[in-house]
């Protein structure tokens, strides 16, 4: 029973995020600001850059010690 509840929770969260993203895209299109929304490849590059920067910061801290 716990597994079914967990699956429902994850699914509902996914549906909520999907609907929210669709609403945001629609609002941006209505206002003519759709260029503010990142495409999936752009978002992946952004997240990869954040991950690399975080790792570089940790590495620099280790060098200082």
Report domain extents, the chain.
1-32, 37-65
- Give the span between the Cα atoms of 18 and 34, in whole angstroms: 17
Q: What is the average pLDDT score of the chain? A: 93
Ranges in the chain, pLDDT < 50: none
């Amino acid at each position: 029973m716990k597994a079914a509840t967990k699956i429902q929770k994850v699914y509902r969260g996914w549906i909520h995020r999907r609907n929210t993203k669709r609403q945001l895209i629609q609002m941006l299109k209505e206002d003519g600001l759709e260029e503010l929304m990142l495409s999936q490849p752009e978002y992946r590059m952004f997240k990869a850059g954040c991950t690399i920067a975080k790792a570089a910061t940790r590495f620099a801290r280790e060098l200082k010690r």
